[in-house]
């Protein structure tokens, strides 16, 4: 499969807007978790003083442990959001390249119905076909390079 065909296949069905929305959603959720973490850390000391004794100390530790876990999850969600943003940018670039490439040019048609008695005309037709084939191959090679 050519690079250009792979590019078309990769871009088909992709949706930069869907990926972008997912990235935004994950980033927003990470922000919410960061706010929850902050609230837990802020509330932990008052849990100890309000409840007192072993219960207060245990509650404070539980709040801080939960805050650590929430922070880890927020970090994972932030990384996921960044990965989705990168994927969206890569897909957007691939869509742009595909649009710039447009449709592939048709391959030249070999000469047909040559007159076996007219060698000069046949040679010119074969030469023209060979030159067109080389030009087509060069254009296609350029398209392949751009599709990579």
**Tokens 């047909």 -> residue:** 112
Q: Going by C-beta distance under 8 Å and a sequence separation of 6 or more, which residues neighbour residue 109?
A: 129
Comparing 13 with 19, which gets the higher pLDDT? Answer: 19
What pLDDT sits at residue 11?
67
Of all helices (H) and strands (E), which one includes residue 48?
A: helix 16-51
**Tokens 């003083």 -> residue:** 49
In this structure, what is the dihedral angle of CA atoms 14, 16, 21, 25, given to the nearest 10 degrees? 80
What pLDDT sits at residue 120?
83
Q: Categorize the per-residue pLDDT at 33 as very low, low, confident or very high, splitting at 50, 70 and 90.
A: very high
Inform me whether the pLDDT recorded for 16 exceeds 70: yes
Written as six digits, the tokens of 143 are: 């398209």
Instruction: Measure the CA–CA gap between 31 and 63, rounded to whole angstroms.
Output: 19
pLDDT digits (tens, 9 = 90+) for 103-145: 888 898 888 877 888 888 888 888 888 898 899 988 888 888 8
Looking at residues 67-76, what average pLDDT do you find? Answer: 97
For the chain, what is the mean pLDDT? Answer: 88
Inform me whether the pLDDT recorded for 148 exceeds 90: no
Instruction: Measure the CA–CA gap between 127 and 121, rounded to whole angstroms.
Output: 10
What pLDDT sits at residue 2?
72
Instruction: Measure the CA–CA gap between 137 and 128, rounded to whole angstroms.
Output: 14
């Amino acid at each position: 499969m050519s690079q250009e065909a792979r590019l078309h296949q990769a871009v088909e069905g992709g949706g930069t807007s869907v990926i972008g929305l997912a990235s935004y959603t994950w980033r927003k959720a990470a922000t919410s978790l960061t706010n929850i973490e902050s609230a837990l850390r802020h509330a932990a000391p008052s849990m100890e003083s309000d409840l007192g004794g072993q219960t207060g100390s245990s509650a404070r530790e539980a709040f801080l442990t939960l805050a650590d876990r929430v922070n880890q999850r927020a970090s994972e969600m932030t990384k996921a959001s960044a990965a989705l943003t990168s994927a969206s940018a890569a897909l957007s670039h691939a869509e742009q390249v595909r649009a710039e490439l447009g449709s592939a040019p048709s391959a030249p048609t070999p000469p047909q119905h040559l007159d076996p008695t007219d060698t000069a005309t046949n040679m010119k037709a074969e030469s023209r076909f060979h030159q067109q084939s080389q030009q087509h191959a060069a254009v296609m090679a350029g398209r392949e390079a751009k599709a990579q």
